[in-house]
């Protein structure tokens, strides 16, 4: 069992469902409204824990009902919350997910306390980072905290996984220097490298450019098509499983969380870990809501058994 620490965001998601996105000035009725736990960091931690990893979370919530709700989402899924700080300086992060009938989503985020995570908060978890196989982070919390966390992990021989989302062109060189695996989607790859990802040749080009930035191991996820991986000079493509998508909100986070739970620290099983992560994502997109849709390892294994029988 891997030990995984996730540094990241916690958001309460309000999901608004409708037939189609309204035109400018147009009013349309909702087909449904629901509330669920979310935030890329929390999603990834819950995915890692449900897939079997011993998981700890570093983050911050407000002194409010939403903060208590988000901590409960973590602990109910077996995630250690001892390094989740409670702050009265801001409200817990929130997100509004706009979801049309084709399962396309658009997301609006109020970062709240996620934007108050500091290097000192990371320092408090220094020992658990040192004891972890992987430290995972995204871009929904301040870069200074992520850089510090990755430097601590690097010094302790804990491997680091960076999900560069939301996309940004300004990833500090000092962060990439202590990143062992980077996992962007095709849009984030283009933002980081300038390479428009359309086929495997462009994935190879994008991955080589990411390696040139200092990251030896790369995974590029391409939604319903699957995921491309590169380890040193080795590379391959793992097709996605064909399913009927209901809500794609947590697909990428489920992929990364599941990946961290089964990936070996030397990355020797990268291709197989990607395949299992594709399977986990294929289950997540068949349900509504970010965290309610994330599968357990038993569900992933059962789906694999159905496929292979």
Whole-angstrom Cα distance, residue 229 to residue 108? 30
Is the preceding peptide bond at 99 cis, omega within 30 degrees of 0?
A: no
Concatenate the DSSP letters of all residues of 283-301 into one string: HHTTSSSSGGGPPPHHHHH
CATH class of 3-23+31-308: alpha beta
3-class DSSP state of 96: strand
* Angle of helix 65-76 versus helix 40-50 axis, rounded to 10: 20
Q: Known catalytic residue: 253?
A: yes
Walk across the sheet containing 226-231 and list its strands. Answer: 80-87, 54-62, 3-7, 134-137, 159-162, 181-182, 217-221, 226-231, 234-239
- In 3D space, the residue among 271, 261, 273 whose CA is nearest the CA of residue 2 turns out to be 261
- Tokens standing for 120? 């000192």
Nearby residues of 134 by Cβ (< 8 Å), 6 or more positions away: 2, 3, 4, 5, 158, 159, 160, 161, 260, 263, 265
| pLDDT at site 306 | 59
Strands (E) in 154-224, as ranges, are 159-162, 181-182, 217-221
- In 3D space, the residue among 64, 122, 73 whose CA is nearest the CA of residue 92 turns out to be 64
Is 206 annotated in a binding site? The answer is no
| pLDDT at site 309 | 44
Residues paired with 221 in a beta bridge: 185, 227
Nearby residues of 145 by Cβ (< 8 Å), 6 or more positions away: 7, 117, 118, 119, 121, 122
- Tokens standing for 125? 């978890």
Q: Which residue has the tokens 């496929």?
A: 307
Whole-angstrom Cα distance, residue 233 to residue 251? 27
Which pTM does this prediction carry?
0.93
If one counts every other C-beta atom within 10 angstroms of the C-beta of residue 159, the result is 22
Is 13 annotated in a binding site? The answer is yes
Walk across the sheet containing 93-99 and list its strands. Answer: 32-38, 11-17, 93-99, 105-110
Asked whether 154 and 132 are in contact (CB, 8 A), the reply is no
| pLDDT at site 105 | 81
Is 232 annotated in a binding site? The answer is no
- Tokens standing for 279? 């399977």
Residues of the chain predicted below pLDDT 70 = 305-309
| pLDDT at site 97 | 87
How do residues 44-103 score in pLDDT, each as one tens digit? 999 999 999 999 999 999 999 999 999 999 999 999 999 999 999 999 999 998 988 887
Q: Which residue has the tokens 């147009």?
A: 26
Is 224 annotated in a binding site? The answer is yes
Catalytic choice (76, 253, 304, 309): 253
Is 79 annotated in a binding site? The answer is no
């Amino acid at each position: 069992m891997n030990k995984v620490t996730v540094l990241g965001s916690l958001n309460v998601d309000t999901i608004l469902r409708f037939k189609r996105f309204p035109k400018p000035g147009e009013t349309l009725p909702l087909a449904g409204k629901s509330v669920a736990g979310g935030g890329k960091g929390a999603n990834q931690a819950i995915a890692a824990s449900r897939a079997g990893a011993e998981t700890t979370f570093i983050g911050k919530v407000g002194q409010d009902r939403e903060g208590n709700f988000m901590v409960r989402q973590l602990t109910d899924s077996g995630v250690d919350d001892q390094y989740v700080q409670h702050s009265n300086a801001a409200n817990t992060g929130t997100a509004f997910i706009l979801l049309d009938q084709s399962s396309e989503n658009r997301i609006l985020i109020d970062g709240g306390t996620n934007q108050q995570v500091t290097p000192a908060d990371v320092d408090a978890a220094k020992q658990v980072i040192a004891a972890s196989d992987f430290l995972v982070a995204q871009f929904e919390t301040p870069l200074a905290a992520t850089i510090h966390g990755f430097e601590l992990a690097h010094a302790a021989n804990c491997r680091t996984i960076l999900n560069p989302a939301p996309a940004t062109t300004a990833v500090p060189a000092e962060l990439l220097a202590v990143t062992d695996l980077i996992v962007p989607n095709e849009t984030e790859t283009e933002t980081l490298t300038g390479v428009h990802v359309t086929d495997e040749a462009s994935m190879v080009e994008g991955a080589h450019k990411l390696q040139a930035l200092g990251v030896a191991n790369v995974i590029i996820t391409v939604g319903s098509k699957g995921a491309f991986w590169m380890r040193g000079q080795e590379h391959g493509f793992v097709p996605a499983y064909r399913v009927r998508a209901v809500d794609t909100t947590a697909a990428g986070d489920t992929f990364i969380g599941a990946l961290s739970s089964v990936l070996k620290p030397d990355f020797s099983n990268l291709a197989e870990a990607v395949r299992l992560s594709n399977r986990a994502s294929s289950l997540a997109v068949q349900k509504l809501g970010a965290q309610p849709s994330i599968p357990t390892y038993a569900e992933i294994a059962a789906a694999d058994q159905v496929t292979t029988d």
